[in-house]
A and B are shown apart, each in its own frame.
Chain A
Amino acid sequence: MRNKAKYGLYLGCIAPLRYPGIESSTREVLKKLGIDFIDLEGVSCCPAPGVVRSFDIETWLALGARNLSIAEEKRVEMLTICNGCFDSLYESACSLDDEKTRKRVNDILVSAGVREYQGTTKVRHEVEVLYNEVGLEKIRSLVVNKLDLKVAVHYGCHFLSPSKYKKIDDPERPTILDDLVEATNAKSVSYRDKQACCGAGGGVRARLPQVALAMTEEKLKNITEAKADCIVTPCPFCHLQFDRGQKEMNYKYTIPVLHISQLLGLAFGINKEKLGFESHYVPVKLPARQWEER
């Protein structure tokens, strides 16, 4: 039987290897929403745009093409849950639309004993799929815990930018993620420089950690001023930077960080264990009313 799933869940690295609660929440949330998906067996790192692409564009394209070809073979769209993976795969797919580039990269794949990439895979981001394909109405209807939270929404850079190619929402004044957050009854608070970068991208966290942290702190300051109960991101790497960043600042700030899948999981009443808050450094202490044990 041919699989009927529309999506292949692309995990990346940070979610499955550092914050498995993001992966398990995503699986649970997708099931609740009735989204058919399969695993993309044998995929690798996207590979990370800030590092691998910075070192060698050709390797970045070839490893990306291999991942894209796995989804292509299964005839599914790639569903990403990380801005880095989304950006890397989306942009490699764009580059590989060019026949000459595709031919060149396929020559590498073939000589490495890997299937060719025909150029047909669609790369999607979870937030955009939930908003455009599932819709807020259905999401609202599944909320069993109406969240009474003030949320600092952090979009992260590579979900919407470069907008010339992605065309999802206005990169300067987006609303798509705020709307999704508010579908849980939580309130998205505005804060200074909301669209600013978390500081981790482009290989900066690894090579110049103090620079990354200074940018993170600027955000944390602004989020604190807005009296938010938590930060919600659609990106495990931003999530990691905010969560570990606060540890690296010796918990000068202690604002809990949630991936959008974890927030939705909370609102959908998914088992607390599966939300995986235990792997966070900053304890996910939310105002008590969210925590009716079931």
Chain B
Amino acid sequence: MEGRSTPKEPNFNFTKKIMDSGGDTLNLCIQCGTCTGSCPSSKITALRTRKLIRKAQLGLEDEIFSTDDLWQCTTCYRCYERCPRGVDVPSIIIILRNMAVKRGDLAEAHQKNAGYIINTGHIIPFGKKQEAMRKKVGLDPTPPTTLSSEKALKEVKAIVKKTGFDKLITGSDKSIKNEESNEK
């Protein structure tokens, strides 16, 4: 039939995987579309929350992972706040993102953020410029966080090693440098 897509075979094993990973509200969705109507991202992107949830219900794995839709969500929770069925959409999206990352879909900017955490305990870099800014407002140049304690940073590094996060993020051959930030 012209203009219509070919019917897809559902894959309920994949659906079950999402639900077993904490997305157990997935099958409560009745496709009313309140989520899409409430989504600030949908005004400017191709993300259609209702459709994404339908694809997840049917386990249409390839369709879910073949676009950037999953990453257009700011996790603002409007959909969850308004859903008449209590579907925890943001959590389902996060579970799907975890799966996408395992498949190798990790933006370079995100890889950097994660690298900063592994190297410093913080998600953004810190350098001389920022130290000076802190001094100007009367603060210690270095905040009393992992940046001030080798022992604390060691703990963070041990945790990410234990969970495999370091490998997940760096992949096989990409190394992350801890660049000093020149930003204000």
State whether A51 touches B163 (Cβ < 8 A): no
Taken together as a complex, chains A and B put the C-alpha atoms of A278 and B134 apart, in Å, by 11
> Contact check: which of A40, A43, A158, A204 meets B71 at CB < 8 Å?
A204
- From known contacts A44-B156, A55-B168, A215-B74, infer whether A203 and B110 are also in contact, taking CB-CB under 8 Å: yes
Q: Given A42-B146, A278-B136, A56–B117 Cβ distance below 8 Å?
A: no
> B158 interface residue, CB < 8 Å from A?
yes
How far is the CB of B182 from the nearest CB of chain A, in Å? Answer: 12
B175: interface (CB < 8 Å): no
Q: Contacts of B126 on A, CB cut-off 8 Å?
A: 17
State the total of A-B contacts with C-beta under 8 angstroms.
224
Would you give the shortest CB distance from B170 to chain A, in whole angstroms? 12
Among the listed stretches A106-114, A118-126, A183-191, A222-230, which one makes contact with chain B, having 4 or more residues with CB under 8 Å of it?
A106-114
Contacts A11-B145, A45-B121; A279 near B133 (Cβ below 8 A):
yes
Decide if A201 is an interface residue (CB 8 Å cutoff).
yes
Which chain A residues lie closer than 8 Å to B137 at the CB level? Answer: 20-21, 23-24, 273-276
Does chain B have a CB within 8 A of A16?
yes
Known: A17-B143, A44-B152. A113 touches B158 (CB 8 A): yes
A36 to chain B, nearest CB (A): 17
How far, in whole Å, are A45 and B165 apart by their CA atoms in the complex? 15
B116 to chain A, nearest CB (A): 8
Instruction: State the Cβ distance, B178 to closest chain A Cβ, in Å.
Output: 13
6 further A-B pairs in the complex, CB-CB below 8 A; given A23-B134, A44-B145 = A44-B146, A63-B117, A157-B75, A158-B77, A197-B78, A206-B113
The interface of chain A, by Cβ under 8 A from chain B, is 11, 13-14, 16-18, 20-21, 23-24, 39-45, 47-59, 62-63, 66, 108-109, 111-114, 157-158, 161-164, 171-172, 195-197, 199-204, 206-208, 211-212, 214-215, 218, 273-276, 278-279, 281
